[in-house]
Amino acid sequence: MATKKVNPIPKGYHTVTPHIVVRDAAKAIDFYKRAFGAEEVMRLPGPDGHGIMHAELKIGDSFIMLGEESPEMGGECHSPESLGGSAVTLNLYVKDVDAAFERAVSAGAQVKMPLADMFWGDRYGALVDPFGHKWSLATHIEDVSPEEIRKRAEAFFAEAAK
């Protein structure tokens, strides 16, 4: 019996796919739809029929997985709200960062760093979503060599230190 060859990475996925944990997955899905234009790909309810054990969203050309906080699952499923924050930032490249940033803020995200043209060639800003996850939004506006980035970074930090 011949076996069908299966691609080890599902169609449309990239090598790295974030899987985040939130306190209220239904509200988070709604927020990500409003803030980032996410499309819901699938939703799997919890074993008791309550909550969302697993969901997949598509934002732009990338996927994000998310699930409900469930500390009873071996202590591994805590949201940033339970942990006091997140050490991870999800970076989202968009065509119009000004419009995307405003949309996310209007949907309930908090500004952590206002939009600015940055030394590495992106127009960039940082947000925290209502569920404690950090996001950076950017539009690439200039191709900059690694050497030029180093020079600009030195000037940027020298000016910031004044």
pLDDT tens, residue by residue, 88-137: 999 999 999 999 999 999 999 999 999 999 999 999 999 999 999 999 99
pLDDT of residue 132: 97
The CATH architecture to which 19-160 belongs is: Roll (3.10)
* 92, burial (CB in 10 Å: exposed 0-12, middle 13-18, buried 19+): buried
Show the tokens assigned to 121: 């060639």
pLDDT of residue 43: 96
Contact between residue 69 and residue 77 where contact means Cβ atoms under 8 Å apart: yes
What average pLDDT is seen over the chain? Answer: 94
N residues, the chain: 162
The answer, yes or no, to whether residue 70 has pLDDT greater than 90, is no
pLDDT of residue 50: 82
pTM of the model: 0.89
Q: Among the listed ranges 13-17, 38-42, 90-94, which one has the minimum average pLDDT value?
A: 13-17
